[in-house]
């Protein structure tokens, strides 16, 4: 199989690199020629050119991360804001920490990372930013108000930046998945006392394509948006849902 080399010589930063989608992104970026910096709470087990373990809810860590990436890799051409957390339940059951932690990771971190990255990309003549939003941020589903609010904000933020920085040849787009078979969704089932395998099987039956997404299904679209193949896309919100509407 002939592997495309869409990212030869490119320098990329991937957040949430230890998750299902994150691991897929890092592996594929490197296979196509990119040098990759990774961040998550623990990234010691991930093969990459630069490792920045840390907590995205820490403001200074986020502010410094793109600069550190540029200093170590020599440039920063691609930023993938892939990290995210889910807090479930009705708003009346939500804690202050549910709100603060969700907003810190899902919104404030991408805000800070974009704010720090855009001047670097502008000085380089351009770049690509891809955010992981959610179908649920575009069409709200039940009992996830804080998560949905954060993803709706990220989608709107993407559209704003896509418009504001296109003139600098910086393209900002977002992928909007529905359910994905990752450790995050499986842990959610376990927390609720459900068998993850059985719960995934039941979810599969709700999708017109016959299954929920695998990480590779989402990472392939993210990498398309990051690549020159998507050179005319700015501020786009791309739903990747197997034909399943949010309900």
Side-by-side strand order, sheet with 11-15: 50-51, 35-39, 11-15, 78-81, 127-132, 170-177, 237-240
| Burial degree of 79 (CB within 10 A; 0-12, 13-18, 19+) | buried
Tell me how far apart the alpha carbons of residues 238 and 155 are, in angstroms, rounded to a whole number: 10
The beta strands (E) that lie in the chain are given as: 11-15, 35-39, 50-51, 78-81, 127-132, 170-177, 237-240
Catalytic residue numbers read: 147
Crossing angle between the packed helical segments 196-204 and 183-191, to the nearest 10 degrees: 110
Distance CA 244, CA 247 (A): 9
Cβ atoms of 36 and 29 closer than 8 Å: yes
**Which burial class, exposed, middle or buried, applies to 21 when counting CB atoms under 10 A from its CB (0-12, 13-18, 19+)?**
buried
Residue 95 makes CB contacts below 8 A (sequence gap 6+) with none
């Amino acid at each position: 199989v002939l592997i495309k080399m869409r990212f030869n010589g490119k320098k990329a930063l991937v957040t949430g690199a230890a998750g299902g989608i994150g691991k897929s992104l890092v592996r594929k970026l490197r296979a196509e020629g990119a040098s990759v910096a990774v961040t998550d709470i623990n990234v010691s087990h991930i093969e990459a050119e630069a490792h920045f373990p840390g907590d995205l809810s820490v403001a200074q860590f986020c502010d410094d991360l793109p600069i550190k990436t540029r200093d170590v890799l020599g440039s920063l051409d691609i930023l993938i804001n892939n990290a995210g957390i889910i807090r479930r339940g009705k708003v009346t059951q939500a804690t202050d920490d549910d709100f603060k932690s969700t907003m810190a990771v899902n919104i404030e971190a991408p805000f800070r990372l974009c704010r720090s990255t855009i001047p670097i990309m502008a000085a380089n003549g351009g770049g690509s930013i891809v955010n992981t939003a959610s179908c649920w941020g575009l069409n709200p589903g039940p009992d996830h108000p804080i998560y949905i609010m954060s993803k709706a904000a990220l989608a709107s933020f993407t559209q704003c930046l896509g418009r504001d920085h296109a003139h600098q040849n910086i393209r900002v787009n977002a992928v909007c998945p529905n359910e994905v078979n990752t450790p995050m969704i499986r842990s959610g089932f376990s927390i609720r006392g459900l068998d993850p395998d059985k719960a995934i099987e039941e979810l599969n039956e709700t999708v017109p394509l016959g299954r929920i997404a695998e990480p590779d299904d989402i990472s392939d679209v993210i990498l398309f948006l990051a690549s020159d193949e998507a050179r005319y896309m700015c501020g786009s919100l791309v739903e990747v849902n197997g034909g399943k509407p949010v309900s």
